[in-house]
Chains A and B, each alone.
Chain A
Amino acid sequence: MIEIRGLTKSFGSKPVLAGVDLTVRQGESLCVIGQSGTGKSVLMKCILGLTAPDAGEVLWQGRRLDAGSRPDFLRHFGMLFQGGALFDSLTVWQNVAFRLRQRMSDQRARAIAVEKLARVGLGPETAGLMPAELSGGMAKRVGLARAIADDPQLIFFDEPTTGLDPIRARRINELIRGIVRETGATAVTITHDMTSVRAIGDRVAMLQDGRIVWDGPVAAMDKAALLAEFLGKTGA
Protein backbone atom coordinates (compact mmCIF):
# COMPACT_ATOMS: atom_id res chain seq x y z
CA MET A 1 0.00 0.00 0.00
CA ILE A 2 1.17 3.51 -0.75
CA GLU A 3 -0.08 6.50 1.18
CA ILE A 4 0.50 10.19 0.45
CA ARG A 5 -0.15 12.67 3.27
CA GLY A 6 -0.30 16.44 2.92
CA LEU A 7 2.22 16.69 0.07
CA THR A 8 3.03 20.27 -0.91
CA LYS A 9 5.45 21.63 -3.47
CA SER A 10 5.97 25.11 -4.88
CA PHE A 11 8.32 26.35 -7.59
CA GLY A 12 9.23 29.90 -6.64
CA SER A 13 5.99 31.61 -5.72
CA LYS A 14 3.88 29.16 -7.75
CA PRO A 15 2.28 26.37 -5.69
CA VAL A 16 1.96 23.14 -7.69
CA LEU A 17 0.92 20.68 -5.00
CA ALA A 18 -1.11 22.23 -2.19
CA GLY A 19 -1.64 19.34 0.24
CA VAL A 20 -2.23 16.13 -1.69
CA ASP A 21 -3.70 13.21 0.28
CA LEU A 22 -4.05 9.91 -1.53
CA THR A 23 -4.01 6.20 -0.72
CA VAL A 24 -3.49 3.33 -3.14
CA ARG A 25 -4.34 -0.11 -1.77
CA GLN A 26 -2.36 -3.27 -2.47
CA GLY A 27 -3.18 -4.68 -5.94
CA GLU A 28 -5.29 -1.66 -6.86
CA SER A 29 -4.94 0.25 -10.14
CA LEU A 30 -5.32 3.99 -9.59
CA CYS A 31 -5.42 6.55 -12.40
CA VAL A 32 -4.49 10.15 -11.56
CA ILE A 33 -6.07 12.54 -14.05
CA GLY A 34 -5.88 16.29 -14.45
CA GLN A 35 -5.22 18.99 -16.98
CA SER A 36 -1.70 19.68 -18.20
CA GLY A 37 0.34 21.61 -15.65
CA THR A 38 -1.73 20.54 -12.64
CA GLY A 39 1.23 18.79 -11.01
CA LYS A 40 0.65 15.12 -11.92
CA SER A 41 4.28 14.56 -12.89
CA VAL A 42 5.52 16.58 -9.89
CA LEU A 43 3.43 14.32 -7.64
CA MET A 44 5.07 11.26 -9.20
CA LYS A 45 8.54 12.75 -8.87
CA CYS A 46 7.92 13.59 -5.21
CA ILE A 47 6.91 9.97 -4.54
CA LEU A 48 10.07 8.71 -6.25
CA GLY A 49 12.34 11.18 -4.47
CA LEU A 50 13.37 12.85 -7.74
CA THR A 51 11.90 16.12 -6.43
CA ALA A 52 11.96 17.05 -2.76
CA PRO A 53 8.50 18.09 -1.47
CA ASP A 54 8.20 21.21 0.70
CA ALA A 55 6.04 19.35 3.22
CA GLY A 56 4.13 16.13 3.67
CA GLU A 57 5.17 12.50 3.51
CA VAL A 58 4.87 9.34 1.46
CA LEU A 59 4.45 5.97 3.17
CA TRP A 60 5.02 2.60 1.55
CA GLN A 61 3.84 -0.51 3.41
CA GLY A 62 3.37 1.78 6.42
CA ARG A 63 6.99 3.01 6.33
CA ARG A 64 7.92 6.62 5.67
CA LEU A 65 9.90 7.01 2.46
CA ASP A 66 13.17 8.87 3.02
CA ALA A 67 16.79 8.56 1.94
CA GLY A 68 17.20 5.45 4.11
CA SER A 69 14.08 3.55 3.06
CA ARG A 70 13.81 4.63 -0.59
CA PRO A 71 16.44 2.16 -1.97
CA ASP A 72 14.36 -0.75 -0.62
CA PHE A 73 11.19 0.81 -2.07
CA LEU A 74 12.85 1.21 -5.49
CA ARG A 75 13.91 -2.45 -5.51
CA HIS A 76 10.23 -3.36 -5.67
CA PHE A 77 9.31 -0.65 -8.14
CA GLY A 78 8.96 -0.40 -11.92
CA MET A 79 8.11 2.55 -14.13
CA LEU A 80 7.03 3.17 -17.69
CA PHE A 81 8.09 6.67 -18.72
CA GLN A 82 6.13 8.85 -21.12
CA GLY A 83 8.83 8.78 -23.82
CA GLY A 84 10.09 5.32 -22.91
CA ALA A 85 13.36 6.74 -21.48
CA LEU A 86 15.30 3.83 -22.95
CA PHE A 87 19.07 4.10 -22.64
CA ASP A 88 20.34 5.05 -26.12
CA SER A 89 23.70 3.36 -25.74
CA LEU A 90 22.30 -0.04 -24.74
CA THR A 91 20.50 -2.65 -26.84
CA VAL A 92 16.87 -3.55 -26.19
CA TRP A 93 17.67 -6.61 -24.07
CA GLN A 94 20.31 -4.67 -22.09
CA ASN A 95 17.67 -2.02 -21.38
CA VAL A 96 15.13 -4.59 -20.24
CA ALA A 97 17.68 -6.49 -18.16
CA PHE A 98 19.40 -3.36 -16.81
CA ARG A 99 18.70 -4.10 -13.15
CA LEU A 100 19.04 -7.87 -13.54
CA ARG A 101 22.56 -7.60 -15.02
CA GLN A 102 23.78 -6.09 -11.75
CA ARG A 103 23.16 -9.35 -9.90
CA MET A 104 23.22 -12.19 -12.47
CA SER A 105 25.09 -13.37 -15.55
CA ASP A 106 24.38 -11.74 -18.92
CA GLN A 107 23.15 -15.06 -20.28
CA ARG A 108 20.52 -15.46 -17.54
CA ALA A 109 19.54 -11.78 -17.67
CA ARG A 110 19.11 -11.94 -21.45
CA ALA A 111 16.88 -15.02 -21.17
CA ILE A 112 14.61 -13.17 -18.72
CA ALA A 113 14.62 -10.07 -20.94
CA VAL A 114 13.54 -12.12 -23.98
CA GLU A 115 10.77 -13.67 -21.88
CA LYS A 116 9.53 -10.22 -20.77
CA LEU A 117 9.73 -8.94 -24.35
CA ALA A 118 7.53 -11.85 -25.41
CA ARG A 119 5.07 -10.87 -22.66
CA VAL A 120 4.67 -7.44 -24.26
CA GLY A 121 4.32 -8.92 -27.74
CA LEU A 122 7.86 -8.45 -29.06
CA GLY A 123 9.83 -11.30 -30.62
CA PRO A 124 13.40 -12.32 -29.71
CA GLU A 125 14.67 -10.61 -32.88
CA THR A 126 14.06 -7.23 -31.21
CA ALA A 127 16.43 -8.06 -28.34
CA GLY A 128 19.55 -7.01 -30.24
CA LEU A 129 18.13 -3.79 -31.70
CA MET A 130 19.13 -0.32 -30.48
CA PRO A 131 16.40 2.01 -29.14
CA ALA A 132 16.87 4.34 -32.15
CA GLU A 133 15.70 1.50 -34.40
CA LEU A 134 12.32 1.15 -32.63
CA SER A 135 8.99 2.75 -33.51
CA GLY A 136 7.12 4.73 -30.82
CA GLY A 137 4.86 1.80 -30.01
CA MET A 138 7.76 -0.65 -29.81
CA ALA A 139 9.69 1.72 -27.54
CA LYS A 140 6.69 1.85 -25.17
CA ARG A 141 6.54 -1.95 -25.14
CA VAL A 142 10.25 -2.21 -24.40
CA GLY A 143 9.79 0.37 -21.62
CA LEU A 144 6.95 -1.75 -20.27
CA ALA A 145 9.09 -4.90 -20.44
CA ARG A 146 11.81 -3.05 -18.51
CA ALA A 147 9.28 -1.89 -15.91
CA ILE A 148 8.15 -5.49 -15.22
CA ALA A 149 11.54 -7.19 -15.69
CA ASP A 150 12.19 -7.59 -11.98
CA ASP A 151 8.57 -8.49 -11.03
CA PRO A 152 7.84 -5.26 -9.12
CA GLN A 153 5.14 -4.89 -6.47
CA LEU A 154 4.39 -1.33 -7.53
CA ILE A 155 4.35 0.04 -11.10
CA PHE A 156 3.96 3.66 -12.25
CA PHE A 157 2.80 4.47 -15.77
CA ASP A 158 3.42 8.04 -16.91
CA GLU A 159 1.14 8.96 -19.83
CA PRO A 160 1.41 5.43 -21.29
CA THR A 161 -0.51 6.15 -24.51
CA THR A 162 0.77 9.66 -25.33
CA GLY A 163 2.04 9.86 -28.92
CA LEU A 164 0.48 6.56 -30.02
CA ASP A 165 -2.25 6.05 -32.60
CA PRO A 166 -5.58 4.69 -31.26
CA ILE A 167 -4.84 1.08 -32.24
CA ARG A 168 -1.42 0.99 -30.58
CA ALA A 169 -2.78 2.93 -27.59
CA ARG A 170 -5.51 0.29 -27.13
CA ARG A 171 -2.91 -2.50 -27.28
CA ILE A 172 -0.74 -0.78 -24.67
CA ASN A 173 -3.80 -0.32 -22.42
CA GLU A 174 -4.68 -4.02 -22.79
CA LEU A 175 -1.10 -5.02 -22.01
CA ILE A 176 -0.98 -2.84 -18.91
CA ARG A 177 -4.32 -4.15 -17.66
CA GLY A 178 -3.27 -7.76 -18.32
CA ILE A 179 0.11 -7.34 -16.59
CA VAL A 180 -1.37 -5.61 -13.54
CA ARG A 181 -4.00 -8.37 -13.16
CA GLU A 182 -1.50 -11.20 -13.70
CA THR A 183 1.17 -9.91 -11.32
CA GLY A 184 -1.17 -8.48 -8.67
CA ALA A 185 1.04 -5.38 -8.59
CA THR A 186 -0.23 -2.04 -7.34
CA ALA A 187 -0.43 0.38 -10.27
CA VAL A 188 -0.51 4.16 -10.48
CA THR A 189 -1.15 5.68 -13.91
CA ILE A 190 -0.78 9.36 -14.70
CA THR A 191 -2.87 10.21 -17.74
CA HIS A 192 -5.42 12.50 -19.33
CA ASP A 193 -6.56 9.85 -21.79
CA MET A 194 -9.99 8.74 -20.52
CA THR A 195 -9.91 5.62 -22.71
CA SER A 196 -6.83 4.56 -20.77
CA VAL A 197 -8.57 5.31 -17.49
CA ARG A 198 -11.52 3.06 -18.39
CA ALA A 199 -9.22 0.30 -19.64
CA ILE A 200 -6.60 0.35 -16.88
CA GLY A 201 -8.09 1.83 -13.73
CA ASP A 202 -10.04 0.52 -10.77
CA ARG A 203 -10.14 3.98 -9.22
CA VAL A 204 -9.69 7.55 -10.43
CA ALA A 205 -8.35 10.59 -8.60
CA MET A 206 -8.55 14.02 -10.15
CA LEU A 207 -5.83 16.56 -9.40
CA GLN A 208 -6.81 20.20 -9.71
CA ASP A 209 -5.30 23.35 -8.19
CA GLY A 210 -2.75 21.22 -6.36
CA ARG A 211 -5.32 19.02 -4.55
CA ILE A 212 -7.25 15.82 -5.16
CA VAL A 213 -10.73 17.19 -5.88
CA TRP A 214 -12.43 13.89 -6.73
CA ASP A 215 -11.57 10.30 -5.85
CA GLY A 216 -13.74 7.30 -6.63
CA PRO A 217 -14.25 4.13 -8.66
CA VAL A 218 -13.99 4.28 -12.45
CA ALA A 219 -17.64 3.17 -12.73
CA ALA A 220 -18.76 6.27 -10.81
CA MET A 221 -16.81 8.89 -12.73
CA ASP A 222 -19.46 9.46 -15.42
CA LYS A 223 -21.87 10.68 -12.76
CA ALA A 224 -19.37 12.94 -11.01
CA ALA A 225 -20.18 16.63 -11.58
CA LEU A 226 -16.57 17.65 -10.89
CA LEU A 227 -15.33 15.47 -13.77
CA ALA A 228 -18.00 16.59 -16.27
CA GLU A 229 -15.80 19.19 -17.94
CA PHE A 230 -12.83 16.83 -18.07
CA LEU A 231 -15.01 14.14 -19.64
CA GLY A 232 -16.23 16.61 -22.26
CA LYS A 233 -19.82 16.83 -21.02
CA THR A 234 -20.02 20.59 -20.51
CA GLY A 235 -22.00 21.19 -23.68
CA ALA A 236 -24.60 18.57 -22.80
Chain B
Amino acid sequence: MNPVRLTGRAALRTVRACGAVMLFTARGLFRLRPFYPRAFATQLLQIGWLSLPVVGLTALFTGAALALQIHSGGARFQASDVVPAIVAIGMVRELGPVLGGLMVAARVASSIAAEIGTMKVTEQIDALVTLSTDPIRWLVTPRLWAAVLTVPLLVAVGDSIGIMGGWLIGTNSLGFNSTAYLANSWAYLERWDVLSGLIKGAAFGLIVAVAGCWFGMRSSRGAEGVGRATKSAVVAAAVGILAANFLLTGLFFR
Protein backbone atom coordinates (compact mmCIF):
# COMPACT_ATOMS: atom_id res chain seq x y z
CA MET B 1 0.00 0.00 0.00
CA ASN B 2 1.01 3.60 -0.60
CA PRO B 3 3.17 4.79 2.37
CA VAL B 4 1.55 8.24 2.28
CA ARG B 5 -1.88 6.64 2.61
CA LEU B 6 -0.64 4.43 5.45
CA THR B 7 0.79 7.43 7.31
CA GLY B 8 -2.40 9.37 6.72
CA ARG B 9 -4.52 6.53 8.06
CA ALA B 10 -2.33 6.17 11.14
CA ALA B 11 -2.52 9.93 11.76
CA LEU B 12 -6.30 9.93 11.40
CA ARG B 13 -6.60 6.96 13.75
CA THR B 14 -4.42 8.68 16.34
CA VAL B 15 -6.33 11.96 16.13
CA ARG B 16 -9.64 10.08 16.38
CA ALA B 17 -8.42 8.13 19.42
CA CYS B 18 -7.15 11.30 21.14
CA GLY B 19 -10.49 13.00 20.51
CA ALA B 20 -12.39 10.00 21.86
CA VAL B 21 -10.27 9.89 25.03
CA MET B 22 -10.75 13.64 25.57
CA LEU B 23 -14.53 13.36 25.15
CA PHE B 24 -14.57 10.36 27.49
CA THR B 25 -12.59 12.33 30.09
CA ALA B 26 -14.87 15.35 29.79
CA ARG B 27 -17.96 13.15 30.18
CA GLY B 28 -16.41 11.40 33.17
CA LEU B 29 -15.51 14.67 34.87
CA PHE B 30 -18.64 16.65 34.22
CA ARG B 31 -21.53 14.18 34.24
CA LEU B 32 -22.10 14.85 37.90
CA ARG B 33 -25.88 14.42 38.20
CA PRO B 34 -27.03 12.15 39.64
CA PHE B 35 -23.94 11.90 41.83
CA TYR B 36 -23.42 8.59 43.63
CA PRO B 37 -21.84 9.39 47.03
CA ARG B 38 -21.46 5.73 48.07
CA ALA B 39 -19.54 4.87 44.88
CA PHE B 40 -17.39 8.00 45.36
CA ALA B 41 -16.61 7.15 49.01
CA THR B 42 -15.62 3.61 48.01
CA GLN B 43 -13.22 4.99 45.40
CA LEU B 44 -11.70 7.50 47.85
CA LEU B 45 -10.89 4.51 50.03
CA GLN B 46 -9.69 2.27 47.20
CA ILE B 47 -7.58 4.82 45.33
CA GLY B 48 -6.46 7.05 48.19
CA TRP B 49 -6.29 5.29 51.51
CA LEU B 50 -5.30 1.84 50.24
CA SER B 51 -2.49 3.26 48.07
CA LEU B 52 -0.90 4.92 51.08
CA PRO B 53 1.37 1.99 52.12
CA VAL B 54 2.91 1.50 48.66
CA VAL B 55 3.37 5.24 48.06
CA GLY B 56 4.78 5.72 51.58
CA LEU B 57 7.30 2.88 51.26
CA THR B 58 8.36 4.04 47.79
CA ALA B 59 8.92 7.58 49.10
CA LEU B 60 10.81 6.36 52.19
CA PHE B 61 13.33 4.30 50.21
CA THR B 62 13.63 6.93 47.47
CA GLY B 63 14.36 9.71 49.99
CA ALA B 64 16.92 7.52 51.76
CA ALA B 65 18.67 6.50 48.51
CA LEU B 66 18.64 10.10 47.27
CA ALA B 67 20.38 11.26 50.46
CA LEU B 68 23.11 8.64 49.97
CA GLN B 69 23.58 9.54 46.30
CA ILE B 70 23.75 13.29 46.86
CA HIS B 71 26.15 12.87 49.78
CA SER B 72 28.39 10.60 47.74
CA GLY B 73 28.19 12.65 44.52
CA GLY B 74 28.36 16.01 46.32
CA ALA B 75 31.59 14.94 48.08
CA ARG B 76 33.37 15.17 44.70
CA PHE B 77 33.03 18.96 44.76
CA GLN B 78 32.76 19.55 48.50
CA ALA B 79 28.98 19.95 48.42
CA SER B 80 27.89 17.18 50.80
CA ASP B 81 26.13 19.73 52.98
CA VAL B 82 23.42 20.31 50.42
CA VAL B 83 21.90 16.87 51.07
CA PRO B 84 18.84 18.12 53.07
CA ALA B 85 17.95 20.84 50.57
CA ILE B 86 18.41 18.67 47.47
CA VAL B 87 16.48 15.76 48.99
CA ALA B 88 13.61 18.11 49.89
CA ILE B 89 13.50 19.88 46.51
CA GLY B 90 14.02 16.65 44.56
CA MET B 91 11.28 14.84 46.43
CA VAL B 92 8.73 17.64 46.39
CA ARG B 93 9.22 18.83 42.81
CA GLU B 94 9.95 15.61 40.98
CA LEU B 95 10.37 12.26 42.69
CA GLY B 96 7.39 12.44 45.03
CA PRO B 97 4.80 13.14 42.30
CA VAL B 98 6.40 10.97 39.60
CA LEU B 99 7.19 7.88 41.67
CA GLY B 100 3.96 8.24 43.65
CA GLY B 101 2.04 8.57 40.37
CA LEU B 102 3.79 5.54 38.88
CA MET B 103 3.05 3.41 41.95
CA VAL B 104 -0.59 4.50 41.86
CA ALA B 105 -0.61 3.70 38.13
CA ALA B 106 0.64 0.18 38.81
CA ARG B 107 -1.83 -0.39 41.62
CA VAL B 108 -4.91 1.57 40.60
CA ALA B 109 -4.97 1.68 36.78
CA SER B 110 -4.65 -2.11 36.68
CA SER B 111 -7.32 -2.61 39.31
CA ILE B 112 -9.78 -0.19 37.65
CA ALA B 113 -9.22 -1.71 34.19
CA ALA B 114 -9.59 -5.28 35.51
CA GLU B 115 -12.73 -4.45 37.50
CA ILE B 116 -14.50 -2.50 34.75
CA GLY B 117 -13.24 -4.93 32.09
CA THR B 118 -14.68 -7.89 33.99
CA MET B 119 -17.95 -6.00 34.38
CA LYS B 120 -17.95 -5.38 30.63
CA VAL B 121 -17.37 -8.99 29.58
CA THR B 122 -19.87 -10.37 32.12
CA GLU B 123 -22.60 -7.97 30.90
CA GLN B 124 -22.70 -6.07 34.22
CA ILE B 125 -22.33 -2.79 32.33
CA ASP B 126 -25.27 -3.73 30.09
CA ALA B 127 -27.16 -4.57 33.28
CA LEU B 128 -26.44 -1.06 34.59
CA VAL B 129 -28.02 0.42 31.46
CA THR B 130 -31.14 -1.76 31.84
CA LEU B 131 -31.39 -0.55 35.44
CA SER B 132 -31.59 3.07 34.22
CA THR B 133 -28.05 3.84 35.38
CA ASP B 134 -25.48 5.59 33.20
CA PRO B 135 -22.21 3.55 33.42
CA ILE B 136 -20.17 6.74 33.01
CA ARG B 137 -21.84 8.38 36.02
CA TRP B 138 -21.77 5.20 38.11
CA LEU B 139 -18.31 3.86 37.26
CA VAL B 140 -16.17 6.57 35.68
CA THR B 141 -17.07 9.85 37.40
CA PRO B 142 -16.45 8.62 40.98
CA ARG B 143 -13.10 7.10 39.99
CA LEU B 144 -11.90 10.18 38.11
CA TRP B 145 -12.76 12.60 40.91
CA ALA B 146 -11.46 10.29 43.63
CA ALA B 147 -8.12 10.00 41.81
CA VAL B 148 -7.85 13.75 41.09
CA LEU B 149 -8.51 14.56 44.76
CA THR B 150 -6.55 11.81 46.52
CA VAL B 151 -3.35 11.52 44.47
CA PRO B 152 -2.20 15.06 45.46
CA LEU B 153 -2.76 14.07 49.09
CA LEU B 154 -0.75 10.89 48.52
CA VAL B 155 1.99 13.02 46.94
CA ALA B 156 1.99 15.35 49.97
CA VAL B 157 2.29 12.40 52.37
CA GLY B 158 4.92 10.78 50.10
CA ASP B 159 6.95 14.02 50.01
CA SER B 160 6.99 14.19 53.80
CA ILE B 161 7.93 10.52 54.17
CA GLY B 162 10.64 10.88 51.49
CA ILE B 163 12.17 13.84 53.32
CA MET B 164 12.04 11.81 56.53
CA GLY B 165 13.79 8.93 54.69
CA GLY B 166 16.62 11.32 53.83
CA TRP B 167 16.66 12.59 57.41
CA LEU B 168 16.91 9.02 58.78
CA ILE B 169 19.95 8.25 56.62
CA GLY B 170 21.41 11.74 57.05
CA THR B 171 21.32 11.64 60.83
CA ASN B 172 22.14 7.94 61.33
CA SER B 173 24.74 7.29 58.61
CA LEU B 174 25.99 10.56 57.18
CA GLY B 175 26.69 12.46 60.40
CA PHE B 176 24.13 15.28 60.08
CA ASN B 177 22.70 16.96 63.12
CA SER B 178 18.95 16.25 63.32
CA THR B 179 17.77 19.83 63.94
CA ALA B 180 20.12 21.28 61.33
CA TYR B 181 19.02 18.71 58.75
CA LEU B 182 15.34 19.57 59.18
CA ALA B 183 16.03 23.31 59.25
CA ASN B 184 18.03 23.04 55.99
CA SER B 185 15.28 20.98 54.39
CA TRP B 186 12.72 23.74 54.98
CA ALA B 187 15.06 26.68 54.41
CA TYR B 188 15.43 26.18 50.66
CA LEU B 189 11.93 24.90 49.96
CA GLU B 190 9.56 27.37 48.32
CA ARG B 191 5.78 27.31 48.31
CA TRP B 192 5.69 26.85 44.52
CA ASP B 193 7.90 23.75 44.81
CA VAL B 194 5.23 22.09 46.94
CA LEU B 195 2.27 23.45 44.97
CA SER B 196 3.68 22.40 41.59
CA GLY B 197 4.14 18.84 42.92
CA LEU B 198 0.55 18.74 44.12
CA ILE B 199 -0.74 20.01 40.75
CA LYS B 200 1.31 17.28 39.07
CA GLY B 201 -0.27 14.78 41.47
CA ALA B 202 -3.78 15.84 40.43
CA ALA B 203 -2.84 15.56 36.74
CA PHE B 204 -1.25 12.13 37.27
CA GLY B 205 -4.30 10.97 39.22
CA LEU B 206 -6.52 11.95 36.31
CA ILE B 207 -4.25 10.14 33.83
CA VAL B 208 -4.29 6.96 35.95
CA ALA B 209 -8.07 6.90 36.37
CA VAL B 210 -8.78 7.77 32.72
CA ALA B 211 -6.42 5.01 31.51
CA GLY B 212 -8.02 2.42 33.81
CA CYS B 213 -11.59 3.39 32.93
CA TRP B 214 -10.96 3.83 29.19
CA PHE B 215 -9.31 0.45 28.64
CA GLY B 216 -11.70 -1.28 31.04
CA MET B 217 -14.74 0.04 29.18
CA ARG B 218 -13.26 -1.14 25.88
CA SER B 219 -12.38 -4.59 27.14
CA SER B 220 -13.68 -7.55 25.16
CA ARG B 221 -13.24 -11.26 24.51
CA GLY B 222 -13.29 -12.72 28.02
CA ALA B 223 -10.29 -13.20 30.28
CA GLU B 224 -7.81 -12.52 27.49
CA GLY B 225 -9.46 -9.20 26.72
CA VAL B 226 -9.49 -8.18 30.38
CA GLY B 227 -5.80 -9.10 30.67
CA ARG B 228 -4.98 -7.01 27.60
CA ALA B 229 -7.01 -4.08 28.91
CA THR B 230 -5.19 -4.22 32.25
CA LYS B 231 -1.78 -4.28 30.60
CA SER B 232 -2.67 -1.43 28.23
CA ALA B 233 -4.03 0.67 31.11
CA VAL B 234 -0.83 0.37 33.15
CA VAL B 235 1.44 1.07 30.16
CA ALA B 236 -0.67 4.05 29.01
CA ALA B 237 -0.85 5.47 32.54
CA ALA B 238 2.91 5.13 33.12
CA VAL B 239 3.88 6.66 29.76
CA GLY B 240 1.20 9.34 30.19
CA ILE B 241 2.58 10.29 33.61
CA LEU B 242 6.16 10.58 32.34
CA ALA B 243 5.10 12.63 29.31
CA ALA B 244 2.84 14.88 31.39
CA ASN B 245 5.64 15.32 33.93
CA PHE B 246 7.97 16.57 31.20
CA LEU B 247 5.34 18.99 29.87
CA LEU B 248 4.34 20.29 33.31
CA THR B 249 7.94 20.66 34.47
CA GLY B 250 8.66 22.71 31.33
CA LEU B 251 5.57 24.78 31.96
CA PHE B 252 6.26 25.40 35.66
CA PHE B 253 10.02 25.87 35.78
CA ARG B 254 11.25 27.29 32.48
Contact = CB atoms under 8 A, between A and B. Distances in A.
Interface of A: 45, 48-50, 71, 74-75, 77-79, 81-83, 85-89, 98-99, 102, 146, 156
A30 B133 CA distance: 26
Interface string B121-153: 011101101111100000000000000000000
Contact of A50 (B122, B129, B133): B129
A151 to B, nearest CB: 14
B118 interface: yes
A83 B132 CA distance: 19
B34 A85 contact: no
Contacts of A86: 124, 127
A93 B34 CA distance: 22
B127 A87 contact: yes
Given A87-B119, A88-B119, A98-B133, 9 more contacts: A74-B129, A74-B132, A78-B130, A83-B122, A83-B123, A85-B123, A85-B127, A86-B124, A99-B133
Interface string B223-247: 0000000000000000000000000
Contacts, number: 47
A81 B126 contact: yes
Interface residues of B, number: 15
A82 B126 CA distance: 12
The 3 A-B pairs of least Cβ separation, nearest first, read A85-B127, A85-B123, A79-B130
B126 A85 contact: yes
Contacts of A83: 122-123
5 contacts: A45-B126, A49-B129, A86-B127, A87-B124, A98-B133
A81 B126 CA distance: 9
B129 A81 contact: no
B130 A77 contact: yes
A49 B205 CA distance: 32
B123 A99 contact: no
Contacts of B119: 87-88
B126 A99 contact: no
Contacts of B130: 48, 74, 77-79, 156
A159 B91 CA distance: 57
Nearest to A152: B130
Contacts of B127: 79, 81, 85-87
Contacts of A88: 118-119, 124
A146 B132 CA distance: 13
Contact of A85 (B115, B122, B132): B122
A50 B124 CA distance: 12
Given A88-B118, A102-B34, A81 B123 contact: yes
A81 B123 CA distance: 8
A163 B126 CA distance: 20
A79 B122 CA distance: 14
Contacts of B126: 45, 48, 50, 81, 85
A81 B127 CA distance: 8
A89 to B, nearest CB: 8
A77 B126 CA distance: 13
B129 A85 contact: no
Interface in B91-121: 115, 118-119
Chain A CB within 10 Å, residue with most, of B123, B127, B131? B131
A164 to B, nearest CB: 17
Chain A CB within 10 Å, residue with most, of B42, B126, B132? B132
Contacts of A102: 34, 133
B196 to A, nearest CB: 36
A86 B118 CA distance: 12
B132 A71 contact: yes
Contact of A48 (B34, B122, B129): B129
Contacts of A48: 126, 129-130
Nearest to B129: A50
Contacts of B123: 81-83, 85
